[in-house]
Structure 1
Amino acid sequence: MQATAKSAPRRALTVAAALTGALACMLPLANSAAAHGSIVDPASRNYGCWERWGDDHLNENMAQEDPMCWQAWQDNPNAMWNWNGLYKNNVNGNHEAHVSSGNLCSGGDTQNGRYSSLDTPGAWKTTDITDNFTMNLYDQAQHGADYFKVYVSKNSYDPTSEPLGWEDLDLVKTTGSYAPAENTTFQVNTSGYDGRHVIFTIWKASHMDQNYYICSDVNFA
């Protein structure tokens, strides 16, 4: 199985690295040494917040226009600057043992709870998709993948009011391996879903036992 190359995300990590002055003093920005990756389409929660507000994250209008991102920025801005670092090492394939229900979107409160705001239920901005959609991993470090596991939240689950648990998910795809590439895309085919759902993706990188846990909010149109 081969990875498909695409152009880099619309505002790649170089944008964050270019921020200077007071902002640079406030926050440790992502850089090439710390760079990893995430699902950028449909956008992960923290990638979407960074893409929409990274250049204007102190804008109080966000509280009304994008309240879930607002609470995430307020909780820990580094969760957005480091949108590509939501991973947990040395899981040995036992994902459910290492990432507890209710903490899936933060990777089991990984990185000392940096990403805990991503577990907060609410009306996160969604990406419109159809039953058959494409996933796009942006991986600046080009780690490759041993596999992806893609889950869709059940029709009975309400992401606006409930933290996401393993019991809320349907496994819809497990891929094979992919060679290292900046962009890796693959198709997911589903049926029977409608309206707001969460796509939960596990990306097992190839370079070591490094596992990424990624929530993307979608609307099946």
Structure 2
Amino acid sequence: MRRLAASLLAVTLGAAGIVAAVGQSAAAHGAEVFPGSRQYLCWVDAVTESGALSPSNAACADALAEGGPNAYYNWFGNLDSNGAGRTEGYIPDGTICSGGDRGPYDFSAFSAARTDWPTTHLTAGATYEFQHNNWAEHPGRFDVYVTREGFDPSQPLGWSDLELVDSVTDPPDTGGPGGDNYYYWDVTLPADRTGRHIVFTHWVRSDSNENFYSCSDVAFDGGDGEVTGIDGDPGTEEPPAACPDETPGVPGAARASSITATGAHVMWGVAQDGCVTGYDVLDPATGAVLASTDGSPMVDLTGLDPGTSYDVAVRSRNDNTGAVSTATASTTFTTLTEDDGGGDAGACEVTYSAQSWGDGQRGYTASVTVTNTSDSPVANWSVAFEYPGGQTVDEPGWSATVTQSGTTVTAAAPPWSTTVAAGQSVTFGFNGATASAGQHPAPQDFTLAGAACDA
């Protein structure tokens, strides 16, 4: 699965140099490449060696005939410069995949409700590395939605069909912009899905109001990332039996998250070159293998000592030959002490912002950044505050589980980011509504793990 996604992207961007030759503008910024978005896989299906477009997929061919070539040559440009994180009430039902049709290129045809779009085959309940091309790099948040069980793909996609299943802020990437690099993070998909569904990815920039949109057609049928419906159906072909002469490429940088007293979650970028059958997580000082995988770019380390600093690096393997790659640079993390679970914070600071939107300007999107200014980490963090003006929150938010009881709003740590280290920050957000248009009194009485914050 990982090699397929990377090879498709290489094919796509290998032809990108032709874009300037045919006079098209490559001015925008990224799209989901695994699971492949409609605009991305249609470009892969359509582009020829000469740079001309000749899609074999019927849905892709109809989208080209309806909207023209700009959405193909600028497949990474499905955007709204004024999106500002807005969803229901701003982007109409039936136009979700094209972001409400407010962008510089015509992606409206990619919102068509039909069952013959290129499809990625997945297993319900499994964890996959999502990949979003960074044609241009921007800080921000990725929200991942999956259609609910019982969704009818022959009907227009509406907000009531979608469930938010994952959100991540500023994930790592495999390298700089303008090529075949991408942001990556792991997503565990719902276990109750069967048949055809849509994965909708919403990229919300934090440095501007610009947003990006991707719809990926998937089938929950026990697959492992195979792609069908494009020229050659690469997902249906048998993989090569072996690649005995290829040296495994070096993985992308490793990082640690969800750190506890005795464990940590480590993930890294997939190797882009050579033949890779698995990965090893190493102690770079001794070369000892701490954990191994059979191709997954993530692992949970367990049995660690509390209050201890660890250095880890990652190398890839070609088990057909026994060859291993050079190890990545090491990343360092420190496990919590046994008594860090209580979450006693000595001090904290909060930055809160909100932007109004929607009919009558009662809707708003809020962003909250909390910095632990104490000398100790806060495990299993939670943030609470009071809304004094009758504001309501659309649960559950993103990058935290946000709930409301009366005037009190509480944000609990997501499973992928449970600890706020001393001097570090967490950011979460949510949509909501005010009691009356234009009235949004500032929230009060912020706390981090029960300790008062400066706001």
Scaled by the length of structure 2, what TM-score is found?
A: 0.42
TM-aligned CA distance change 1:179 to 1:136, over 3 Å: closer
* Corresponding residue of 1:80: 72
Q: Deviations over 1:26-69 (max 9, x none)?
A: xx4243xx14110011111011000111117654xx5xx51100
Q: How far is the alpha carbon of 1:114 from its aligned partner?
A: 0.3
* Residue 167 (1) aligns with residue 163 (2): no
Pairwise mapping of residues 108-123 of structure 1 onto structure 2 (< 5 A)?
108-111=100-103, 114-122=106-114, 123=116
Letter in 2 for 1:68: A
| Cα distance in 1 between the residues matched to 2:158 and 2:84 | 20
Q: Following the alignment from structure 1 to structure 2, what is the Cα–Cα distance between the partners of residues 140 and 112? A: 16
Deviation at 1:205, TM superposition (A): 2.4
1:15 to partner: Cα distance: 1.3
Matched AA of 1:39: E
2 CA distance for matches of 1:207 and 1:82? 22
Where do residues 25-174 of structure 1 align in structure 2 (5 Å cutoff)?
28-31=23-26, 34-55=27-48, 59=54, 62=55, 65-75=56-66, 76-111=68-103, 114-122=106-114, 123-131=116-124, 132=126, 133-144=128-139, 146-159=140-153, 161-174=154-167
C-alpha deviation, 1:179, in angstroms: 5.5
- In structure 2, relative to structure 1, the CA distance for the partners of 1:82 and 1:19 (3 Å cut) is closer
**C-alpha contact 2:198 2:217 (8 A) present in aligned 1:** yes
Report the Cα distance in structure 2 between the residues aligned to 1:91 and 1:115, rounded to whole angstroms.
15
Change in Cα spacing, 1:179 to 1:216, as seen in structure 2 (3 Å) is same
CA shift, 1:187, in A, is 1.4
Q: Distance in 2 between matches of 1:139 and 1:68?
A: 26
Residue number in structure 2 paired with 1:3: none
Give the number of the structure whose residues are more often strand, by fraction.
2
The structure whose RCO (Cα within 8 Å, separation 6+) is larger is 1
Structure 2: where are the runs of 5+ without partners? 176-180, 222-455
Q: Residues of 2 paired with 1:213 and 1:179: CA distance?
A: 19
Scaled by the length of structure 1, what TM-score is found? 0.82
Change over 3 Å in CA distance of 1:176–1:155 after alignment to 2: same
User: Cα distance 1:101–1:20, how it changes in 2: closer, same or farther (>3 A)?
Assistant: closer
Secondary structure at 1:96 match in 2 = coil
Specify the alignment match of 2:220 in structure 1.
Answer: 220
SS of match in other structure, 1:37: coil
Distance (Å, rounded) in 2 between the aligned partners of 1:188 and 1:114: 29
User: For 1:105-148, what per-residue CA distance to the aligned partner results, in whole angstroms no more than 9, with x for missing partners?
Assistant: 1110122670110111112120112232221011121223x211
Name structure 1 gaps, 5 residues minimum. Answer: 1-5
1:63-103 C-alpha deviation (Å, 9 max, x unpaired): xx511001011112211111101111223332223211110
C-alpha RMSD of matched pairs (Å)? 2.4
Residues 16 and 30, structure 1, Cα contact 8 Å, conserved in 2? no
Q: Is the 8 A contact 1:46 1:83 kept in 2?
A: yes
**Aligned residue number for residue 187 of structure 1:** 186
Give the number of the structure whose residues are more often helix, by fraction. Answer: 1
Distance in 1 (CA, whole Å) between partners of 2:129 and 2:105 is: 30
Deviation for aligned residue 1:175 = 1.7
Greater mean deviation of Cα atoms: 130-139 or 38-47: 130-139
Equivalent-residue separation in structure 1 for 2:164 and 2:171 (angstroms): 19
User: Is this contact kept in 2: 1:147–1:177, CA < 8 A?
Assistant: yes
Q: Give structure 1 regions of 4+ aligned residues with deviation exceeding 6 angstroms.
A: none
Moved more, 11-20 or 98-107: 11-20
Question: Structure 1 residues 92-101 or 114-123, which shifts more?
Answer: 92-101
Matched length: 203
Alignment partners' CA distance in 1, 2:19 and 2:30 = 20
Assess, with a 3 A threshold, how the Cα gap between structure 1 residues 18 and 92 changes in structure 2: closer, same or farther: closer
Contact 1:11 1:51 in 2 (8 A): yes
